[in-house]
Each structure stands twice: as C-alpha cells, then as structure tokens.
Structure 1
Amino acid sequence: MHPADEHAQKLTLALRKYDLDHLIALLPDLSPSQPKHVLRAHLKFIFEQAQKDKLDLLHPPADFQTWLQEPLKRTRHPEKQAQPNTVHARATLLTRLYRLLQEEGLIQQQPLQGLPRPTVVPTKRLPHPDTVRRLHLQTQPDPALHGALMLIHHLAFTTGELLALEWEHVDFPRNELLRRRTASPLPDAVRQALERLADPQGGPLYASGKVLPYVTDQAFRQALWQASKDANTDLVPPATLRLAGLHANGQQLTSLQAGYIDDRAFEDARAVVAALSLEHQE
C-alpha cells in the first residue's frame, strides 16, 4: 500500500471513530505553533456532539454550518458560552482541518466556506518598532537567534515552524524557502541570516539537518528572554513578534507564504494587526 493511501485510511478511520487525539497526531500541519492539548480543547465539543448525533464528519450534511453554531460556543459550564475569540479560534481550526482533508483528497469541497465567525477582539498590543529594532540589533552576534527573529519578522514563522525547519527546505540557488507546499521568496535579510547559519556547516549548498539549534520551544523562549534583558527591552512573546512582522511585511506575503493554510485566517490576522496598529497610534 502506498504511504499516502495508508495515511488517508488512518485519517478516515479516526474521523469515523471521532478519535480526536489520533486525528491531531496524523495532521502535524493543523497548527504547529499550538500544543496538542490546546488543539484538542478547541475541537472536543464539536467531536463529542458529532459522535452523539452520529454526524458523519467526513461527509457533513447540508446544514453542517448551522449545526456547528452550538458546539462552537459550548463550554464546560452549560449556562455559559465561549468568548468570541474562542469561537473564532475554534472555527478557524476546524476550517484548517477541512482544508488539510481536502489536500489529502478525502473531500472535494470545503464545507465551511463562508462560515460566519465573530469579530476578534484584540487582546495584545504591538511592540513599539524601536523595541523590535533594538532586539534585532542585540541578536546580531548570535546567528541562530538573529536568524530565528528574521524568519519571524519577514516570513511570520511560528515557534513550531522554527524548530521544525531543516536545510533541505531552503533552496539558495532559487532563493526560495519551501513552506506548506509552497515556495516563499527569501527576503534579503532572511537569506543573509541563513547564510551565516549555513557557513559553519559547510556552506549553503552542504548544510544538513535542523537549521536552528533549539530543541524545545522553552529553549528558544529562554534565549529570547535573555536577549530582551540584554537589550533592556520588555520581553515580547514570539506570537506578538509575529504580529509585528505581519504589520511590517504582511502585505508582501500570500497566506501560504505567511504560514496560513486558510486564506480567511490570514485576512483575519491582518485585520487584527491593523486594529492593534490603530490602537497603538491612539
């Protein structure tokens, strides 16, 4: 059996059994920046209700979007409803799930096309541009950390993607970086940072294995915390640095180049960034 066929069969079985844990394990691209327990928390009410109603998640009914409105809003407390940001996150994650199933060839059409979602309420503030510049300057003597920040700033990398990035994904002759089944042009700052990282490993054409040395998310965050301390700036979490990068460079990227497998999620992210930018100016 071809590996792709076997993978498709496993996905189908997980969906039929409403086996959310197995499904998440089979789809590492679902949301690389989020821990599995967070993904499970977002989707569990949908899968539990689908199992109770014997709803076929692989072939959802015509009224699927209407049916979703209740489990999307459910919480552990029957008298309470999930906050708009939580509902939005759940809807976005489920849309990504169906986009991946579509790419696997298991479904023909996206059943959540046009799904209504609540407006996201910004909960973060963009860092001041000077804070970002100081952090970039501070990390220049550290090729690994500087390279990581360039990938975040110019290509909206998540920490999960940073840890998973390998040299085989970087095509220096074509000046491209393979990302989510698409090739992103390498901005000059990113290419220069990657070349610095590749030089000790035999150069851009011979480097192999992982691009960055961080084994865990915590190791990367620790390095970022130390750099922020040395630069005498507030600690800016990687997710917020990503938003700052989208604010600065998002207009030059497609959704896939920015790491979003769902066009609507990308537009939502840019809308949040625009709202945060206006808030920052007030």
Structure 2
Amino acid sequence: MTQSIQAFTSDRLAQARALAGLTDEALRVRAITAARDKSAGDLWALTLAYLSSDTSAGVKLSVHTLRAYRKGVEVLVEHAGANAWNLLHPGRREPSLFVASLTASGLKPATVQARVAAAGALYRALRWAGATDADPFADVKRPKDRTKGVVKNPPYRADFVQAMLAEADVQEQVLLLLLTHAGLRIAEALAVEWEHVDLGRRRLLVAHGKGDKARIVPLSARLREALSALQDGRVAAPGSGGRLLSFRAYSTAYERLQRLALRCGMAQEFRGFHAGRKYAGTQLYAAVKDFTRVAGFLGHEQVDTTRRYVELPEDDLDDVVEGFR
C-alpha cells in the first residue's frame, strides 16, 4: 500500500516541506494515487501543503478558511465517489452537475460558493503536484445570493450589546468591545497581545489582519476602561505570551458569548461574531458618512465589501429628499 500522505501530521509548514520536498515524480505519484483512491484525507493533506507553501497567504491562512476548504474537499470527494468521477479527468459537464447538486440539496449560495472555492483549491493542488492539467471549475457558474449580507445577518442592536456588556466578566467585556467598538475580526481579537495596546495614545495595533495586513484602530473610552480593568487584574502566567485573553480558541470564545447571551435571556439574538463587527462599522458610518474611512477602520481593501457591513437607516435620505426643488 502506498504510504499515506496523511502521515505528515506535524505543523503545517512541516507538512508542506514533507510534500514539496519530494521529487517531482514522487509527488506526482502520491497525488495520482490519492485521486485514484478518492482518499479525502490524502487529498486534503495535498491541498493543505499547496495552500501552505504556494499561495500568497501561505501558512498564515486562518483556521476558519482551512476548515471551510477541508469540508469542501471532503464534499467533492464524496460526490466523486458516489457518481463515479475520474478526479484527474472529470467529464466536461460533471462540475456543473456538482454545483447543481449542492444547490438542490438546499445549501445557501454562500455555502455553495465556498464548496466550489475548495474544489478549485484541490485542483490547483493537483496541478501543483503535476498530477493533472485539469481545471474543471474555472468556468463553472456559481449561484449568486441576491440578498445583502447586512440583511441576512444584520448588526447587533445596541440594547443587545449593552445587556451583554452588563452581564459579562472583564475578559468577555474586552472580547465584545474588540468586536463591537474596535471592529476586529474574531481571529484578530483573539490574537491581540498587550504589546499591541497603547492606552495612552488610545491606539491598538492589529498586527496580523486578514491577508497578514497590519492596521491601527482607535480605542473607545469604554474599551480602554475594560482593558485597564483587565490589566489591573492580570497575573502574567508562564507561557502566556502576553495575550489579552486567557482563551484563544474560536470555539471557546463562541461558547463563552453564547452562554453569556443565555444568562442575559437573549440566546436567540446571539448570531456569532460578525454581527459585532458590523455593529462597529454601522456606528462609525453613522458618525462619519464615509465608506472609505470605515473600510480602513475595518481593514477592507475594497469599499464595496464595507458596504455589505453597514446598515443604513430606512429614513437616511428623508431630509435630503425633503429639500428637493
């Protein structure tokens, strides 16, 4: 039996080296074998090695992105097995039928798009390994979601945020305020260290934002107060790395805020982390009326992305239209 690619289970860079360090022929044979056997584990290991070593984000791809890619690879391999695909030489119409089957299963357009992105990553990895020249998802049409993201998942309401802050312990307060006042992504919030905080200048360095881009965001009075309280009670534990929060796992942060919402009697209103970031963007836009400035604050490269984060009031144009002549 061919040695499993899955054996390379050390850190991501080591896995990438283990595969990328093979001769061209050895890597090609491994990839061909994994595709022939439709081994989801081996194909994911190959995809992970490619993503870690031959993309701009490299080993700094977020855990959430990798989780979505892995799920997408598993779904594609399962579909290929059930429908007798030859993964290295798929039929011309098979990718479109795969997308159609995802849509027919009731998945939301955004989820279908994520699955197709993962499938594309798998084929880039197979080409990287020299196993195929196929690029079957290059021209596949993906479903579009006509509903704006800010409608599907709107910002949290002020009363929800205030109720959560009132019930939260100091670490939960800091986490909530990093999301709702500083506009950080959850991965950015969990990665903040004390050396990134400048209470005197009211600034926070986001050292490794999405795409490994750094930015500086202002600290609100409420967030500075929570940070000071956290700092006053801090006991630097060995190996703590200077992190603000004692927890760093996405799942732990989610569970803590979910339990907090339950204690507040608002469990049904808790919708994860992104609605907090939208809350920050919406508040800032209401004050400055400038999408470009909000984009810089949130760390968006494109202003069009920012527009999907800001909820505009229904009466936003009433006063302007009132004065028409």
Give the TM-score taking structure 2 as reference length.
Answer: 0.52
- 2:299 matches 1:257: yes
- Per the alignment, residue 159 of structure 2 pairs with 130
Larger gyration radius, structure 1 or structure 2? 2
- How far is the alpha carbon of 1:182 from its aligned partner? 1.4
Given the alignment of the two structures, is residue 244 of structure 1 paired with residue 279 of structure 2, yes or no? yes
* 1:157 is the counterpart of 2:188: no
- Mapping of residues 22-171 of structure 1, within 5 Å: 22-23=45-46, 27=52, 29-33=60-64, 36=67, 38-46=68-76, 52-54=86-88, 69-75=96-102, 82-91=107-116, 117-120=142-145, 121=147, 123-139=152-168, 142-153=169-180, 154-158=182-186, 160-163=187-190, 165=191, 167=193, 170=196
Candidates 241, 244, 256, aligned match of 1:208: 241
Q: Deviation of residue 247 (structure 1)?
A: 3.8
Q: Structure 1 pair 200/15, CA: closer, same or farther in 2 (3 Å)?
A: farther
User: What letter corresponds to residue 230 of structure 2 in structure 1?
Assistant: L
Aligned residues: 245
C-alpha contact 1:166 1:211 (8 A) present in aligned 2 = yes
Unpaired runs of at least 5, structure 2: 1-11, 22-26, 36-41, 53-58, 130-134, 286-290, 317-325
Deviations 1:178-228 (A, max 9, x none): 12421121321397244543454489xxx8343312264454334323433
Greater length-normalized contact order (CA 8 Å, ≥ 6 residues apart): 1
Alignment pair present for 1:182 and 2:213 = yes
Secondary structure of 2:63's aligned partner: coil
TM-score normalised over the length of structure 1: 0.58
Deviation track 1:237-258 (CA, whole Å, cap 9, x = no partner) reads 3233344344445842359836
Q: CA RMSD in A?
A: 5.1
SS at 1:186 equivalent: strand
Fraction of identical pairs, as percent: 15
- Displacement after TM superposition at 1:118 (Å): 2.8
Deviation (angstroms), 1:138? 4.0
Superposition deviation, residue 32 in structure 1: 2.5
> Which blocks of at least 5 consecutive residues in structure 1 are unaligned?
57-62
